[in-house]
Chain A
């Protein structure tokens, strides 16, 4: 079954895949820096009428909670990564490496970059988890 990105169902599946991943468990074992929110900017042409935040409560290699939040809530997280729908699609399809995307202005990071860098392997494993989700993209 394909899950629409972004949707509550997709986010639930993402949480499941993260917690099934032994590689993420190992790579994210030292992460104690708090939740990370992925914000997808609105794109009404494809039916995304407002910004959507995917809140990931990550802690020591485990995803304790994953939910959709409004952008105001997203801003409260210590790490907030924002991008256009097309950019997130590239990330999910492994066409864009997130840290490189931040450096090139394709994604915007609010938060401490060195903390992300220290856990770059964990970030890569999170991307790996998204590739295991049967994803249906808006506008396709």
Chain B
């Protein structure tokens, strides 16, 4: 891969990553390593209702656990973060253990700020606003996709205003990520596939981002290889611990890649259909990826040749042809995973695409797309292709 002669970047990935079957049960050791004595578990209602995972973590923490905050919902809101922080502060929590997917992890990132700094979450809206380390945070992901356990971003919805707020700060990067394949084995096939494709999009978008750089590229390319090989296995047999583990690693390194290199058009468009029509983030990414690859194709030939190589596609082609072929291969891959292929299949009306196009232009990710896009009509064309 070639880079500009004036390449300059910052790569920052300080989270301690612990991997292995049943490593989640070592959570108390990790908390003690952080010198913490009062741990609050942050998890979501579904996980509490449908699995014994939060209870296992509570037992593993023993006397260190001062409570379980389980009011997290999909698209977590600032009111939930505020409630959770109040609950945690009331229990004297000095450490958070988030157990769940992106919503639980991002809620805990917000709570970590409020428990340390006080005030309202809205007071910390912005980028790199914090000036000191926040409440220690250990993450135990129960999905393999978001990568939020190693990113400096949190997306929290302001339900009153009806918009998603973006918090970006190195001080909210979790201290520890425990990747335990046993924690993901109950994830249903459809969610496994959709979250796995979220990770695939993180990897590919990090590769074509304007802020791409060699360290993130290395991580992202390996993530693509792992996802290609192990996502179908994890979807086919959720109890395949080897596949589950490799997918956790793939999501983790893709997360680290995009936390540094950023993402682009796919995410900007997916965030907007998510905000307006509630489409699952991984699913929206999966559907939009081929159309965005075709849009970017003429600017990313060499990059997409590398993606093809990571996907183990051996064809003799010119760089300008690579985007279309990657798009075809991704479509083939997601069809095999049983995922919906069009936005119309997931409840997005054609008449709603214009509103999505306007909103996508305000998304932070769009700045990093390899082809500059600043016109809603251009965005609309990409949406229409995916509709």
Contacts and interface: CB of A to CB of B under 8 A. Distances in A.
Given A100-B211, A117-B367, A110 B362 contact: no
A104 B368 CA distance: 13
B10 A110 contact: no
Interface string A81-118: 00000000000000000011011111111111111011
A24 to B, nearest CB: 16
Contact of B361 (A105, A112, A118): A118
A59 interface: no
A50 to B, nearest CB: 17
Nearest to B262: A103
Given A117-B366, A117-B367, A121-B374, A107 B128 contact: yes
Contacts of A42: none
Contacts of B361: 117-118
Contacts of B165: 112
Contact of A99 (B126, B363, B367): B367
A48 interface: no
Q: Is the interface of A mostly helix, strand, loop or mixed?
A: helix
A120 interface: yes
A114 B166 contact: yes
A111 B125 contact: yes
A117 B127 contact: no
B372 to A, nearest CB: 10
Interface string B6-28: 00011010000000000000000
B126 A109 contact: yes
B168 A113 contact: yes
B127 A114 contact: no
Given A103-B262, A114-B166, A109 B364 contact: no
B153 to A, nearest CB: 10
B128 A117 contact: no
Contact of A114 (B170, B364, B374): B364
Contacts of A115: 362
Nearest to B169: A105
B129 interface: yes
B129 A110 contact: yes
Nearest to A119: B362
Contact of A104 (B10, B125, B362, B363): B10
Contacts of B12: 105
Given A100-B211, A105-B10, A114 B125 contact: no
A106 B9 CA distance: 11
Contacts of B10: 104-106
B366 A110 contact: no
Contacts of B166: 113-114
A108 B211 contact: no
A135 B211 CA distance: 29
A110 B362 CA distance: 17
Contacts of B367: 99, 117, 120
Contact of B362 (A108, A109, A118): A118
Given A104-B10, A118-B361, A121-B374, A112 B170 contact: no
Contacts of B211: 100, 103
B71 to A, nearest CB: 26
Interface in B329-387: 361-364, 366-367, 374
A112 B374 CA distance: 19
B374 A108 contact: no
List the 3 closest pairs (A to B, CB-CB), nearest first: A114-B362, A108-B128, A109-B127
Interface of A: 99-100, 102-115, 117-118, 120-121
